[in-house]
Amino acid sequence: MNDSTLPADHPFLTGDELLFAALDSMGAEAVAEEAAALGEAIRWHDHRYYVLDEPRVADGFYDRLFRRLQALEEAHPEVCAADSPTQRVGGTVVASLPTVEHVAPMLSLASGADETKLREFDERLRRSLQVDEEPPPEVGYVAEPKFDGLSIEIVYVEGRFDRGVTRGNGVIGEDVSANVKTIASLPLRLHVSSRPAPAMLAVRGEVLLPLAGFQALNRGRVEQQLETYANPRNAAAGAIRQLDSSVAASRPLDAFFYEVLASAGAELPETHWERLDWLREWGLKVSGRRRRCDAIEDAIAYHADMDLARDELPWEIDGVVIKVDNVAIQEQLGWRSRTPRWAYAYKFAPREEVTRIDEIALQVGRTGIIAPVALLAPVEVGGVTISRASLHNYDQIRAKDIRPGDTVRVHRAGDVIPYVVERVDDRLEAERSPPFEMPDACPVCGSPVERSGAYFVCTGGIVCAAQINGVIEHYASRHALDIEGLGTKTVRQLTESSLVESVADLYRLRAEDLLPLDLFGDLKASKLVEGIAASKQTTLGRFIYGLGIRHVGQHVAEVLSRHFGDIQALISADEDELVAIHEVGPEVTRSVREFFAESRNRDVVEELLALGVSLQGPADAPTGSGDDRSGAIFSGEKFVLTGGLESMSRTEMSALLESLGARVTSSVSGKTDYVVVGDNPGSKARKAAQLGVATLSEPGLWELLESRGYER
Ligand code: IVH
């Protein structure tokens, strides 16, 4: 095994230990020893990756450790500890969530979004400490982010994770241990390298779903026609309160800790600041942005700083919490009925506002998907004026019953596109606009609109100005007309400069037209014009594929080319003839018919032919790059597969995707296009969500393949 990825200071595994002896040749003791070493190593890497954000090894290396531990535990279940890293993956299903009493009450915080209220809190507190001194002495504070998530109690007994309990009514909560254990940054064993673990430690923290994970989750839900979550907090809470822990495992939850609720068998330090240091040393995630404040002025400055930093944070915070640092003083100050006198939540202006929808506009994307967008009466949300918000899709608009003229609640967080959360409108039905309907015709080109799963799609393709860039890129792509030099940026320049308004315009370009454009010098301009001219000699199959007819991928285009041998025959083919062709189903038939029924599409074809595009029929036509028959429907898009698939093995699926032009890699990065998530997925699903990479379920993958013209 190649151990070159091992970090120099890796504490647990050396290359020798990674030889991974054959399992059946190992004695029970050797298995137990190796499982323990692997468990330690994985815990160490988890901490570096999820808590410190400083991974030391490539994902592939980590996955090998993980799979080896899984294999050992499968063969020898007796070595599998309840807190083994493999037990985080979820899958436990319970009938109900038992209720549990908290070790100490989980109460609430006095809060406000007003600076004077914070100053009053400070003054009140100092006066009650030293009534006779004037002015009262300063107290030291610790200011920290107020995480907008779900409050949780985690109890460790003898350093081992014992349970995770929701806040509930503050005294009794629900035992959500199986779900909480899926949180990758949460240690299942406390680290004891700095100091021993206490006999019992109960900590309070917040479970969060990072914004990227939230967006990816909602994107997936839109595709599956499920209702979206209103905010990351609800999505986190929804996962933590599930009976089936695989739901939590599929969401990249995180958790930060900010209080010791109770402890036994350890003398904790006297200040909150140091207590947080101890929690961090025990391996718990603690905010690195907390700040010591000598006086309330510093806390006010901290609030202003965090308000500015808020948009750059990967998760939502809704304010800052200011706490008296000295624990003895905290105790002296004590509690009101439900809130401590020593802490205050100084909130930010909310990121949600109520406004009116003036209009529901339709935006046609470059792939033809028509997205409804809410045009709003402008409203300031957290310092930014917004006048547009996403409505996700038609089904969500109907489910939430949102219509033009309605008053709605909108949400903006980080750099995420603002979205409409819900309708908050109490007008009578008669006073409202009629329910929103998607149009039958594309608002840009007037072509018919077709429904495809959750989406409405313009069928205009080749004549739709909104899709022109995508259309040209596809027309020029390797398996279509194969014109070199027509990448995304170049195409955008050509269309933005109005030199190209349809594919036919490509054949009218002269090198001198291109020279004024930024991206072109003499050489590049003449090369592109030559490349375009060379593409005139093409095959019928490539040409049909290049037209970008929905559901007509490269393979189907070849089938049509072989059957008809001539473009005019295809144009005039009727439904019966098309549907009778082996490998041509009703969907393809319908889209081919719709495409050629549109006179503007036929005009473009005629124009291309008139400009000299010459189509060789299949008999004498070489099929080009040899892999044409496999039907390349991806052009190098990067896939990662994780978890078990139902329809075929992962290896077979990789082979299929690769035969269709995709690249299948083993680790997820920002460059990955899709992560296909099967059963019991590993860390890759979580990483995808963290990076905001699109994830596909297995049915979702098939849908994608079919939408690109692949036929099973
Ligand atoms: S301290 C008794 N610190 O805010 C004091 N709470 O509105 C216990 N929260 O229910 C809470 N970040 O869920 C504290 N750094 C932080 C916090 C925090 C978020 C939540 C917590 C609490 C709510 C109070």
Separation of CA 270 and ligand 1 centre (Å): 20
Q: Of 472, 448, 470, which Cα lies nearest the Cα of 597?
A: 448
Mean pLDDT of 81-103: 87
Separation of CA 264 and ligand 1 centre (Å): 22
Residue nearest to ligand 1 atom 7, measured at CA = 109
Predicted pLDDT of residue 199: 98
Cα–Cα distance measured from residue 243 to residue 271, given in angstroms and rounded to the nearest whole number: 38
Ligand 1 atom with minimal separation from the 151 CA = 13
Residues in CB range of 630: below 8 A, 6 or more apart? 555, 659, 660
CB 472 within 8 A of CB 486: yes
Is pLDDT above 60 for 3? no
Cβ neighbours of 128 (radius 10 Å): 13
Picking from 292-301, 584-593, 663-672, which range would have the lowest pLDDT averaged per residue? 663-672
Which stretches of 269-324 are DSSP H helices? 272-281, 296-309
Cα–Cα distance measured from residue 333 to residue 320, given in angstroms and rounded to the nearest whole number: 20
Torsion, Cα of 596, 601, 607, 608 (10° steps):
-80
Ligand 1 atom with minimal separation from the 145 CA = 15
Picking from 127-136, 142-151, 347-356, which range would have the lowest pLDDT averaged per residue? 127-136
Cα–Cα distance measured from residue 134 to residue 160, given in angstroms and rounded to the nearest whole number: 49
Consecutive H or E run containing 345: strand 343-347
Ligand 1 atom with minimal separation from the 340 CA = 2
Predicted pLDDT of residue 631: 56
Q: How many CA atoms are closer than 13 Å to the CA of 39, on its beta-carbon side? A: 21
Predicted pLDDT of residue 15: 46
Spot the catalytic one: 146, 181, 285, 687: 146
Predicted pLDDT of residue 99: 94
Residues in CB range of 465: below 8 A, 6 or more apart? 444, 445, 501
Strands 172-174 and 160-166: unpaired
Is pLDDT above 50 for 119? yes
Ligand 1 atom with minimal separation from the 318 CA = 19
CB 292 within 8 A of CB 325: yes
Predicted pLDDT of residue 19: 53
Size of the chain in residues: 712
C-alpha angle 590/596/599, rounded to 5°? 135
CB-defined site of ligand 1, < 6 Å: 107-109, 111, 144, 146-147, 151, 206, 258-259, 321, 340, 343, 345
Kindly state the tokens that stand for 41.
């190593």
Which residue in this structure is represented by tokens 């929808």? 357
CB 219 within 8 A of CB 159: no
Is pLDDT above 70 for 383? yes
The residue ranking higher by pLDDT, 598 or 682, is: 598
Pocket probe for ligand 1: among 258, 285, 323, the residue whose CB has the most ligand atoms within 8 Å is 258
Cα–Cα distance measured from residue 418 to residue 352, given in angstroms and rounded to the nearest whole number: 9
Residues in CB range of 645: below 8 A, 6 or more apart? 653, 676, 678, 679, 698
Mean pLDDT of 8-28: 61
Calculate the average pLDDT of the chain.
88
Is pLDDT above 70 for 216? yes
Is pLDDT above 70 for 679? yes
Cα–Cα distance measured from residue 370 to residue 443, given in angstroms and rounded to the nearest whole number: 9
Could you read off the pLDDT of 494-515 as tens digits, one per residue?
A: 999 999 999 999 999 999 999 9
Residues in CB range of 81: below 8 A, 6 or more apart? 39, 87
CB 275 within 8 A of CB 258: no
| Reported confidence tier of residue 632, pLDDT bands at 50, 70, 90 | low
Annotate 177-199 with DSSP letters as a single string: HHHHTT-TTS-SB---SSSPPPS
Cα–Cα distance measured from residue 271 to residue 261, given in angstroms and rounded to the nearest whole number: 14
Picking from 136-140, 225-229, 253-257, which range would have the lowest pLDDT averaged per residue? 136-140
Is pLDDT above 90 for 653? no
Is pLDDT above 80 for 648? no
Which residue in this structure is represented by tokens 């994770």? 161
The residue ranking higher by pLDDT, 630 or 641, is: 641
Separation of CA 593 and ligand 1 centre (Å): 61
State which amino acid sits at residue 267. E
Predicted pLDDT of residue 7: 45
Picking from 53-67, 92-106, 492-506, 614-628, which range would have the lowest pLDDT averaged per residue? 614-628
Mean pLDDT of 315-328: 96
What is the Cα Rg of the chain in Å? 30
Strands 663-664 and 638-642: parallel
Note if 489 is an active site residue. Answer: no
Predicted pLDDT of residue 712: 66
Could you read off the pLDDT of 273-282 as tens digits, one per residue?
A: 999 999 999 9
Is pLDDT above 90 for 219? no
Residue nearest to ligand 1 atom 9, measured at CA = 146
Mean pLDDT of 203-210: 97
pTM above 0.85, yes or no: no
Separation of CA 401 and ligand 1 centre (Å): 35
Instruction: Identify each DSSP E strand in 160-290 by its residue range.
Output: 160-166, 172-174, 200-208, 254-264
Beta bridge partners of 423: 408
Beta bridge partners of 205: 152, 257
Is pLDDT above 90 for 333? yes
CB 389 within 8 A of CB 372: no
Predicted pLDDT of residue 282: 97
Is pLDDT above 60 for 428? yes
CB 455 within 8 A of CB 224: no
Separation of CA 368 and ligand 1 centre (Å): 45
Predicted pLDDT of residue 476: 95
169: Cα separation from own chain's centroid? 32
Could you read off the pLDDT of 570-614 as tens digits, one per residue?
A: 999 999 999 999 878 888 898 899 899 989 999 999 999 999 999
Is pLDDT above 80 for 127? yes
Pocket probe for ligand 1: among 141, 152, 206, the residue whose CB has the most ligand atoms within 8 Å is 206
Could you read off the pLDDT of 147-169 as tens digits, one per residue?
A: 999 999 999 999 999 999 999 99
Separation of CA 174 and ligand 1 centre (Å): 18
692-696 long-range CB contacts below 8 Å, 24 or more apart?
692/212, 692/213, 692/215, 692/216, 693/216, 693/668, 694/216, 694/219, 694/220, 695/216, 695/220, 696/220
Separation of CA 500 and ligand 1 centre (Å): 57
Residue nearest to ligand 1 atom 15, measured at CA = 146
| Reported confidence tier of residue 5, pLDDT bands at 50, 70, 90 | very low
Which stretches of 565-670 are DSSP H helices? 567-572, 575-579, 586-597, 599-610, 650-659
Q: How many CA atoms are closer than 13 Å to the CA of 451, on its beta-carbon side? A: 10
Q: How many CA atoms are closer than 13 Å to the CA of 192, on its beta-carbon side? A: 12
Is pLDDT above 70 for 29? yes
| Reported confidence tier of residue 442, pLDDT bands at 50, 70, 90 | very high
Angle in degrees, 0-180, between the axes of helices 599-610 and 586-597, rounded to the nearest 10: 70
Residue nearest to ligand 1 atom 18, measured at CA = 146
Torsion, Cα of 193, 194, 197, 201 (10° steps):
-130
Predicted pLDDT of residue 1: 35
Predicted pLDDT of residue 680: 75
Residue nearest to ligand 1 atom 17, measured at CA = 146
Mean pLDDT of 520-541: 94
Share of the chain above pLDDT 70, in %: 94
